[in-house]
């Protein structure tokens, strides 16, 4: 099985072993992705008993070798962005002649494709360009503009 971080080409993807990191919620009028918000003070990381979820290089990541599949991170995530999947993995207790496979639960979440030079795959393939990476400086400027617009709009509304 190729790990998420090693998936550098589309050819490396095996449809039978593909697990998306984003979930889409669809209704008649709107389709929206449920995405990890890369929280500075990530609740999922705080509740992980094995410190398998860490903030590293500006991204919240899951270190699968530490994950015990307890699912507390999925409960703690306020956005529903943590997914728990069960995969069959090779058991280290198997013999040289016979491979033994056992189920293992893994916590999966968006890591902003930190392994890809071109950035997050979802941004690259989004058909409407609705998914974007916004730098903190841009977010601050946008917030400032919205506050100014709201203040000007409130000043124009007559008071009773």
Q: Is 40 inside a domain boundary?
A: yes
Instruction: Report DSSP letters for 86-134, one per residue.
Output: EEEEE-TTS-SSS--EEEEEEEE---TTTT-TT--HHHHH-TTS-----
The boundaries of the domain holding residue 50 are 4-131
pLDDT in tens, 82-133: 999 888 888 877 666 778 888 889 899 988 887 888 888 888 888 888 888 8
- Rounded distance, CA 73 to CA 80, Å? 10
Task: Give the pLDDT score at 45.
Answer: 96
Q: Is 152 inside a domain boundary?
A: no
pLDDT in tens, 119-145: 888 888 888 888 888 887 888 898 899
How many folded domains does the chain comprise?
1
Task: Give the pLDDT score at 140.
Answer: 87
> What CATH number did the domain enclosing 56 receive?
3.30.70.20
What is the pLDDT confidence band of residue 14, given thresholds at 50, 70 and 90? low
Q: Is 69 inside a domain boundary?
A: yes
Q: Is 11 inside a domain boundary?
A: yes
Instruction: Report the predicted TM-score, pTM, of the whole model to 2 decimal places.
Output: 0.70
Q: Is 146 inside a domain boundary?
A: no
Q: Is 85 inside a domain boundary?
A: yes
What is the pLDDT confidence band of residue 2, given thresholds at 50, 70 and 90? very low
What is the pLDDT confidence band of residue 24, given thresholds at 50, 70 and 90? confident
Residue of higher predicted confidence among 159 and 141: 141
Q: Is 14 inside a domain boundary?
A: yes
Residue 3 has pLDDT above 70, yes or no: no
Q: What are phi and psi of 97, to 5 degrees?
A: -85, -35
Task: Give the pLDDT score at 116.
Answer: 83
- Rounded distance, CA 40 to CA 6, Å? 25
What is the pLDDT confidence band of residue 157, given thresholds at 50, 70 and 90? low
Q: Is 141 inside a domain boundary?
A: no
């Amino acid at each position: 099985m190729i790990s998420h971080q090693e998936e550098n080409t589309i050819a490396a993807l095996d449809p039978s072993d593909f697990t998306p990191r984003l979930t889409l919620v669809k209704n008649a009028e709107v389709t929206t992705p449920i995405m990890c918000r890369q929280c500075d003070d990530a609740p999922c990381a705080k509740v992980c008993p094995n410190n398998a979820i860490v903030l590293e290089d500006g991204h919240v990541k899951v270190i699968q070798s530490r994950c015990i599949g307890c699912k507390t991170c999925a409960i703690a995530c306020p956005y529903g962005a943590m997914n728990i999947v069960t995969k069959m993995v090779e058991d280290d207790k198997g013999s040289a002649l016979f491979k033994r496979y056992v189920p293992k639960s893994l916590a999966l979440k968006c890591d902003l494709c930190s392994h890809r030079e071109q950035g997050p795959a979802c941004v690259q393939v989004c058909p409407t360009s609705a998914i974007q990476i916004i730098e903190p400086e841009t977010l601050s400027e946008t917030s400032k503009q919205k506050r100014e617009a709201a203040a000007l709009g409130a000043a124009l509304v007559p008071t009773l």
